[in-house]
Every structure is written in structure tokens, then in C-alpha cells.
Structure 1
């Protein structure tokens, strides 16, 4: 199951498709919206990709209490039937784990930018948590702890995030990148990371967690190379050494 909530846009309340279904089913638009939520919620909970090969339209009609409701959804393009299998078109845009992760990431980035615009340095964790019911927040914490116990990263390496002054690299990601670059982890001191963060925090740049750690690794490696670099001495020209006691030049000798 993808979760205990689904994405719903308020504009759906007034979409022409809702009115068409209401006319076809001879019910009011508010009732249509409620029954659509029942259908969408069922697909979100019971399918992984919006395809339901083992369920019939009759079963879904019975679930929403309107005979022919699935046919009305097909009429407006909100349900597809092929070879006896019913599915929801564009399911991954609005439902499923991937769509929900995209939505939460967008809300997190937007909340953080809004907080920065107001001079609020408290971050965006509270805003993101408020977007979900309390039980979902607790469930996310449990999943996070389980992943850590299994040795996974504490953060999603592919999750986009804007650089802020309170950013710190994920220890596991940092260790892996440092190992790949043949760098000792003790090079990543608080001061070294601070210089990197201050450089990028004012840019408003957004990268994935993995990309930020990769940039940090290259930054530290460059600084280390500059700090330990040695100046190569100039090579002396070949030939006999100069004799400063020779006075032959006074007699026209060369």
C-alpha cells in the first residue's frame, strides 16, 4: 500500500468531467466527488500501478453504490478498460508512493523557500510534518528507524534539497564518497564543511543529497591538494659554473 492518504486537487470539484458524470449517473456533483475518492482510494491502496486485473466494474459500482459508475468514468477518460482489465490513466502522476514523494518534496522545498524569504532560520521540518496526520508522521519515523537498522542511508540520496546554513552531509553518504575518492574521513572537519556550506547557501541552488555530498568531496579534496602542494624548484641551466674571479674579459676574451 502506498499510504493512508491520496493527492486531491481542489480544482477537481469544478471540473467538467465531474458534471458529466453527475448528469450520466443522475446524482449531484458533490456525490460524484465522494464516489471518485472512493474509487481512487481503492486503486491507491490495492494496486501498485493503477491496474486492477482481478477486480470487476460491478464490484467497484457496488462499492460506490451507483450502477454504471465505472462506465461513466470511462466516458470522461478517467478509467480505461482493455482486454477485461480496468485501470486508471496517469496513475503515477497523482497516486502511488512515487507521486506522493514528489508532492512532499515540492511542499518541503516551497516551505523552506518561504521561510527563508521571511528571514526565518528555523528550517522546514515542522511545515513538512504538518502536511501529514500525526499517525503518518509517526509511521514515517518508524520506517526511517527500520531503514537505519538495515544499513540504508538516513536520507534519500536522490531527494532534491536546497542548500542552507544548517545542512550537514549524511554520514553514510559521506563515507562512501570519501572511500571512492581515496580520502580520509577526518579531512571533513566542521570548519571545512562550513566553508562549503557558506559558499553555496546564498545561491539558492537545489541539488540531490548525493550531488551535494559529491560536490563537498571534490571541494575538500581540492583544498587538501592546495594545502599540501609544493612549489617545484626552477631547473638550473646546464653548462660550466660561473667564475667571478676571471678577468679575461678585460683583455677582450670571451
Structure 2
């Protein structure tokens, strides 16, 4: 299984620890999928020409993620400032709204499309500003998309016809709301709908069957990246040919292990300045 992730990347800044960790949904899925057994993963995104950008690039290299198509631009890399509550749940305090990548929209060229076609699945997210290119991409490769919990009905209508896997954060949703949401995702053309519910576990539909997966026990110190870890674990295991039930269980296990480290996958570095 070979996965390419395109889009958002940041450093997650923990001021209380005086550390920054590489992160962002698309970047995390690329790194974690490689750690979880993908034959190869790649990442395309825009980073700044600052110390944070260098740390992002170095972390990708150390995790053996292919970055030949990454863009480096003059400006500030994305930053998210994070606090943790007493239970280890991450709280986003503020951000620079993606830094330079929010000012320079990622535009894929024809050679990028040729490159992307060599992979088995593409993962991107609501924060990756790739929505207007999904139609063309969908003709080349299966697409996984993380809607987080900030999506709208209009976004679902715009994205779902072109994707194969929809991941949604829905910890506050009732069973009835989840059923309605999954049906809507399917009606709009996406076959696989996965709703993560925090401590309530996960509900998935493949259009025919419903699946429920509970959480795995963990010594929680930091929940940052747990959802991204679940996505990476599920996609890697499922697209390596394993059954849905087993893939969900492995994904829950991976998410639990992520809760036991700071940052989505470690690689902390002291803050600059």
C-alpha cells in the first residue's frame, strides 16, 4: 500500500514545554501511515523558510516520507499553539491560520498529477485548500478526506461526490444525527463514512453494513493527533487487504498509542527565540 497526503502542515507549539512538534492532518497521516506499515508514503504541501519549516522537513525525512514535491516559500510556516487540560485533552489556543500556505494556494501541475497517480490512495483534509482540485484528482486516484468537525452541508455537497473515504469528528452527535449524516454522505456519492466519537468510539458505514468500534485503553498524556492516527491506521490496514472490522480495531489501537506521546508522533524540538 502506497499513500500520498496533500495539504496542511504546521508545528504544534507547547509553550509550557518550550517545544514544537510537527503536525497537521495531512502531514500526520503521511508520517503515521509509514510507521504503520505502508510500503511508501509521500507528502506535498507548502512550508515556510523558517526554523519551523526546516523542522517539518527534517521530521519528514527522518520518518522516510517522500518529499520531492514539497514546496518551500518565503514566509512563516503554519503554527498552532496548544494547551493540555488535566485529562490530557488538547486545546487549541490560537494559530497563525496556516502561515504562508494559507496565502499561497497549492496548485498542482500536470507532472504532479502524473506523480500522484503512482500511489494507491490520496489523503487530504478540510484545512488543505484542495477542494477545487478533487474532481480532477478523483479520476486518477481514490481519495480519503478528513472533514474534522467544522464542515457544512455545502462542503459535503462539494466534496463527497469525489471521495472514497469520509472521516468526520462527531463526538457530540446523537445516534440519530450520525445515521442521518452517514446517509447523506452516501447519497452524495461517497462509499465509506467513518464517524469518530472520542471516548464513545467509532461508527462506520460502507453503504451496506454498519460497524462499531470501541476505544482502546491508553495511559493518556496528550490526545493531539489521535484522530489522524486512527485515519492512518485504518487506511493502511484496510488498503493492505484486511477486513473492515480488523482495520477498525487496529486503528483504535494506533490512536490509543498516539495518546501516550506528546505531539502526533513525537519529534519535539526546543522553541526558537
Using the size of structure 2 for normalisation, the TM-score is: 0.22
* Bigger helix fraction: 1
Q: Could you say which structure has the greater relative contact order, defined with CA pairs below 8 angstroms and 6 or more residues apart? A: 2
Using the size of structure 1 for normalisation, the TM-score is: 0.23
Larger CA Rg, structure 1 vs 2:
1
